[in-house]
Structure 1
Amino acid sequence: MKYIIRSLSYIFHPLLMPIIGVLLYFKISPRFFNPAFLFSKLFATTIMTVIIPILSYYMLKNLNLVSDINLKNVKERRYPLLMQLLFTFLLIQIVFKGYEIPELHFFFVAILGSSLAAFILALFSFKASLHMIGISGLVVFIMGLSIHYNQNLLLLIAFLIIGCGGTATSRLEAKAHTYIELIIGFFVGALPQLMAFKYWF
């Protein structure tokens, strides 16, 4: 049971939440997308939100700016978060422009807001849970799509909420966060997505 709980930290890893959000959007949206267009967006998102951040981590490790992939030291979180701000900004400006796919454009604008909030908290030596930021933002985004497209996504939303609870349990089990860090992380991820609704609904 402990193995299953701990595995949730990897299944719902914050690096994977943006690409999962994009995949689910293309699955849920009633709009038609050219396969080449769809592939280009997915490929660019994977590069900018998964591949480059992983490579950046190893660069930071070689520079002795981070010591552990879990970033347990709150000061070490500042560099990866700063890079995430840059990569997300570039993704918004280059890949998901507002006039093409407003839903995904503002999904990433909200992610940018969450990343900025997490960075500011890190400057004040507060370690908000990045896992909770990622999964809570995704849950709220999918809820928004369900309302926006008038689709019954109850099973998907229920699965993500269970995943959210399981991820929180996993982080507590690993002693990676306190309750307050998980709660703050949840709201840092969820609130920007809620605030973004009025721009794409």
Structure 2
Amino acid sequence: MNAKPAIAQFFSVVLHPLIIPTLGFLLLMNSGFYFSMMSFEGKKFLLIIIFLSTFLLPVLSLGLLSFNKHFDATMSKSTDRVLPLFMSAIYYYLGYYYLGRLDVYPIYRVFLLATILIIIMLLLISMKWKISNHMAGIGGLIGAVIALSFRMGINSSMLLCGLIILAGILGTARLILKKHSQLQIYAGFFLGFMVNYLIIIYL
């Protein structure tokens, strides 16, 4: 039995775009950025909001949609992704709204604002073309880390090397599973990277 598809599927699940925001916040909390200055209780509460709004609620909605016989849970066509992306944008905005009610650094809300913009752009593109949401997620995280590194003068080369390796593995996994073409992989990464980088570096 060929192990490549199983390994590719593993990385596609572990690095799913809905998991990336929570993983990103966890990484940044322990990498010398603003998050390191927060108390443990503050970090925990922040992570709960992020996890609920960017992962749990979207996943539950996808589960409910899968009961609809007209919805293709594999989302093989680009248009199948429009409704899940629209619902995700709403949940992400709820996270953005509740973060605004907390006494936290504004950069936290900027992260979610940039992610919401990426989702909206993915939604619009998906109406006509199948772009990689997975690569947009990991590309956005890399763009955010680079932008924060420049803003704060922090050397995050080790973290970036790890993320770039993971991005390469994820892109290869999506190609092995035949979910995307190389152009769709590169386009997703570039979109996520540029939106997060530009918003975080200038706001």
Query: Structures share a fold, TM > 0.5?
Result: yes
Instruction: Give the match for residue 12 of structure 1.
Output: 15
CA distance in 1, matches of 2:24, 2:102: 17
In the alignment, which residue of structure 1 is the partner of 2:68? 63
Of residues 84, 89, 92 in structure 1, which corresponds to 2:88? 84
Asked whether the equivalents of residues 24 and 141 of structure 2 are also in contact (C-alpha less than 8 Å), the reply is yes
CA deviation map 1:61-104 (0-9, x unaligned): 11334222x31122210110000110111111112569732222
**Other structure's SS at 1:62 match:** coil
Kept in 1: contact 2:146–2:197 (CA 8 A): no
Normalized against structure 1, the TM-score is what? 0.90
| CA distance in 1 between partners of 2:104 and 2:138 (Å) | 25
Matched, 1:128 2:131: yes
Aligned counterpart, 1:95: 99
* Equivalenced residues, count: 198
What is the root-mean-square deviation in Å for CA atoms of aligned residues? Answer: 1.9
Q: Is the 8 A contact 1:98 1:105 kept in 2?
A: no
Query: Is the contact between residue 132 and residue 184 of structure 2 (CA under 8 Å) also seen in structure 1?
Result: yes
2:198 to 170, 173, 195: 195
Tell me, yes or no, if the aligned pair for 1:139 and 1:160 is still in contact at 8 Å. Answer: yes
Distance 1:113 1:98, change over 3 A: farther
Runs of 4+ more than 4 Å apart: 96-99
Match for 2:178 among 172, 175, 178? 175
Deviation at 1:163, TM superposition (A): 0.8
The counterpart of 2:58, out of the listed 38, 53, 75, is 53
CA distance in 2, matches of 1:91, 1:198: 21
Deviation at 1:197, TM superposition (A): 2.5
Q: TM-score with structure 2 length normalisation?
A: 0.89
2:112 counterpart of 1:140:
no
C-alpha deviation, 1:184, in angstroms: 1.3
